[in-house]
Structure 1
Amino acid sequence: MSSHELLDDTDEPPIVATDDTKPQFWSYNQYKTPEGGKIGIHYCKNLEHAERAAALFSGSKLLGFDIEWKPQAQTTSGIKSNVSLIQIANEERIALFHIALFKGNEIQDLVPPSLKKLLESTDTVKVGVSIKADCSRVRRHLDIDTKGQFELSHLYKLVKYGSTQPKMVDRRAVNLAQQVEEFLGLPLRKDSDVRKSDWTKPLDYTQVQYAASDAYACICLHRTLEAKRKALNPVPPLPAFAELNLPILLAEEDKVEIEDKVAELSVRMKESLELVDAGEEDVVEVNDENKKLDPT
């Protein structure tokens, strides 16, 4: 694994590696870094390694994000079953934080400080599919309040349907495999044996490839879809962060609607907090959709 410095993010997409044999499935290893090198993978099985790897992403403005957990895990199953693996990616490297293998069972034993800082930073956008549900799970079990959650399904629908079938532009998720095949040209390998495997155990080669490709696909999808959005005429505004619960707008002039809704939401949240401070313990957080059961 090379230890070269982390590159600054650029507006250019990753360079696609050339190969005489056309692959059957989409994978991160079909791409190269902006410098022309191989995409590095950091498979972290302890807190110390995880902290060093997380620090390498500190300059990233955009991260692919995904998580895995043990199938049929219950809330009472413990942290390691509910958030077994966290995957992040930028253009030149991928990190797999295998929390289920870390020593200890308390949050402080399982969360690298640099990873928590990165996920909670408003300066770094995290892109993924069903990202709000994933971040809700991470918050519930690891006490990480992820900021800048960007749902790729919203951008996918805006690009695909915004100009022709606006009623199709909604906030429902579209699975990652479908988006990848449609916009990146090859299907993701989604073997049910791997997808439903026990993510609390050490990963084999196939699981590493699966987990790494999911995170890196989010980076590639975002760049492809964003280029297509900017090519539309008129150019629609970028969808808001998922945690804001705002509608997907179709026209630039409708930006004022987002601004008004953000202002209204801020006022309502402030009022709720004031009531809590006044002793109203039964006040429920405004628009707290994260309290709903996550789809697994």
Structure 2
Amino acid sequence: MQASPNTEGAYYSHLLYRGPEGQMISLHYCPTMETAEKVAKYFLDEKVLGFDIEWRPWGSGRSIKDNVSLIQLACEDRIALFHISQFKGNSIEQLLPPTLKTILESPNILKVGVNIKGDFGRLQTYLGVHARGKYELSRLYNLVKFSATDPSKVNNKMVSLARQVEEHLQLPLLKDSDVREGDWRLGLNKKQMRYAATDAYAGLRIFDVLEEKRKKLKPIPPLPMPTDFDPPPRLRE
């Protein structure tokens, strides 16, 4: 996977992959509740999903659409972009597809990503989602990287998705500030779709690679638990 550094092919992308039957990865853009509910059903039987969200990065808006503009899910052969801010209405009932809520709250489906607690904290605050199956990739990364050589570094320290991708998937992750800091409430252009889809898909693939490497360690260390089991934050005295 090499290309000129001046081309998009020089960066990691979901477009580099094919599904189990050689097909391109399906990308579902869901700008309505009806489409989102239909597409979410594709993910109900998955055990692990790449997960990410986007929101309006500037301004003082307090609406749901400002703070949870887009939700992304990815499995091996498909990616969904649930464009919440494009749905009609402004209430939780009008903006959160029931099947998507089921997936997010299921303890049997791992939602993997970086800074996963922060993202799901946002979903709880603005959409009332009481998520389970929240999985922080940084913890698995630290386990795989340090368990054999420096166990003191097997901790909960955050490691950026970009760093994990470049180290384990062998290509840099494109982080275009104009795209990242754009207004995600509005209709998505091609670059935004690719950015959003790739981030979620990268999380899934990082999990797969790290899991494979964990299982090759001797002895095999246990898989870090989902963040659901983290103790509550300590209150300041």
Does TM, normalized by the shorter one, top 0.5? yes
Alignment of 1:278-289 (within 5 A): 287-288=232-233
Match of 1:70 in 2: 56
- Aligned-partner Cα distance in 1 for 2:3–2:125: 44
Residues 1:238 and 2:216 are matched in the alignment? no
Does the residue aligned with 2:205 lie in a helix, a strand or coil? Answer: helix
After superposition, the C-alpha distances for 1:84-109 in whole angstroms (9 at most, x for unaligned) are: 10000000100000101111000000
After superposition, the C-alpha distances for 1:176-225 in whole angstroms (9 at most, x for unaligned) are: 00100000000111011111111111110000000000000011000000
Match of 1:210 in 2: 195
| Cα pair 1:73 1:82 within 8 Å, conserved | no
- Aligned-partner Cα distance in 2 for 1:56–1:288: 35
- Aligned-partner Cα distance in 2 for 1:169–1:62: 22
Residues 1:34 and 2:20 are matched in the alignment? yes
- Aligned-partner Cα distance in 2 for 1:20–1:61: 31
- The residue type equivalent to 1:238 in the other structure is L
Match of 1:256 in 2: none
TM-score (norm 1): 0.75
Match of 1:158 in 2: 143
Alignment of 1:250-261 (within 5 A): none
Q: CA deviation at 1:136?
A: 0.8
- Aligned-partner Cα distance in 2 for 1:30–1:173: 26
- Aligned-partner Cα distance in 2 for 1:31–1:200: 28
Q: CA deviation at 1:116?
A: 0.3
| Cα pair 2:71 2:83 within 8 Å, conserved | yes
Q: CA deviation at 1:243?
A: 2.2
Q: CA deviation at 1:122?
A: 1.4
Give aligned pairs, total. Answer: 231
Match of 2:134 in 1: 149
Match of 1:48 in 2: 34
After superposition, the C-alpha distances for 1:117-147 in whole angstroms (9 at most, x for unaligned) are: 1111111111110001101110110011111
Q: CA deviation at 1:154?
A: 0.3
Does the residue aligned with 1:136 lie in a helix, a strand or coil? Answer: helix
- Aligned-partner Cα distance in 2 for 1:182–1:132: 23
- Aligned-partner Cα distance in 2 for 1:153–1:237: 15
Q: Give me the identity figure in percent.
A: 49
TM-score (norm 2): 0.93
Does the residue aligned with 2:152 lie in a helix, a strand or coil? Answer: helix
- Aligned-partner Cα distance in 2 for 1:43–1:62: 20
Q: CA deviation at 1:20?
A: 8.6
Residues 1:171 and 2:165 are matched in the alignment? no
Q: CA deviation at 1:81?
A: 0.5
Residues 1:25 and 2:26 are matched in the alignment? no
After superposition, the C-alpha distances for 1:50-94 in whole angstroms (9 at most, x for unaligned) are: 0001011111111000001101354x6210011010000000100
Does the residue aligned with 1:127 lie in a helix, a strand or coil? Answer: strand
Match of 1:61 in 2: 47
Q: CA deviation at 1:21?
A: 5.4
- Aligned-partner Cα distance in 1 for 2:67–2:2: 41
- Aligned-partner Cα distance in 2 for 1:40–1:46: 18
Moved more, 45-54 or 168-177: 168-177
Describe the shift of the 1:45–1:158 C-alpha distance in structure 2 as closer, same or farther (beyond 3 A). Answer: same
After superposition, the C-alpha distances for 1:153-186 in whole angstroms (9 at most, x for unaligned) are: 0000100111111122221211100100000000
- The residue type equivalent to 2:28 in the other structure is H
**Structure 2: segments with no counterpart, 5+ residues:** none
Which runs of structure 1 show a deviation greater than 4 angstroms over 4 or more consecutive aligned residues? 19-22
Q: CA deviation at 1:114?
A: 0.5
Of the two structures, which has the highest relative contact order with CA contacts closer than 8 Å and spacing of 6 or more?
Answer: 2
Does the residue aligned with 2:10 lie in a helix, a strand or coil? Answer: coil
